[in-house]
Amino acid sequence: MSCADRVIAEARGWVGTPYVHQASARGAGADCLGLVRGVWRGVFGDEPEAVPPYTPDWSEPQRDEILWRGAARHLQQKRVEDAAVGDVLLFRMRASGVAKHLGIQSEVGPLPCFIHAYSGHGVIESPLSRPWARRIAARFAFPVGD
């Protein structure tokens, strides 16, 4: 099984987990970062660093790209256009806001999809529709190749 296949199998195992801010427990609760952290643990082992407490606004008042910098420390940044299954997507929910939502690309091609923990919905697999795709600020690959 390829690395991307392992990432997607692990992420799909989290579908149905309720949304809980700052949580990362499969079946019990996760937010978008908690999902990515949980997939990392399930596929690669120990997390590369401890995550400090964070607020839902992700340092938006300070315009500080904390989540982007954290992803860049541990994942391989790619061109946004170079979509592949298993990529970590970083979204900017508002044009003037910091990037503060994560997902994992689960399908590419004519019907792209991604898995994410979304407030009010829990961990779900969603179409990567045009409104979502235009919000992608960065794309990353997990550090372990196929």
In a domain, 24, yes or no: yes
- Token pair for residue 48? 């590369």
pLDDT confidence of residue 91: 97
Q: Can you give the pLDDT of all 146 residues of the chain as single tens digits?
A: 899 999 999 999 999 999 999 999 999 999 999 999 999 999 999 999 999 888 877 777 778 899 999 999 999 999 999 999 999 999 999 888 899 999 999 999 999 999 999 999 999 999 999 999 999 999 999 986 44
End-to-end CA distance of the chain: 8
**Torsion of the alpha carbons at 130, 133, 134 and 138, rounded to the nearest 10:** 180
Q: Are strands 122-127 and 99-107 parallel, antiparallel or unpaired?
A: unpaired
In a domain, 102, yes or no: yes
Question: Residue 38's domain spans which residues?
Answer: 3-141
Domain count across the chain:
1
Q: Is the Cα torsion angle 134, 109, 128, 97 positive or negative in sign? A: negative
In a domain, 146, yes or no: no
Q: What is the pTM of this model?
A: 0.94
State the Cα–Cα distance between residues 116 and 88, nearest whole angstrom: 10
CATH number at residue 9: 3.90.1720.10
Q: Are strands 76-78 and 29-30 parallel, antiparallel or unpaired?
A: unpaired
In a domain, 41, yes or no: yes
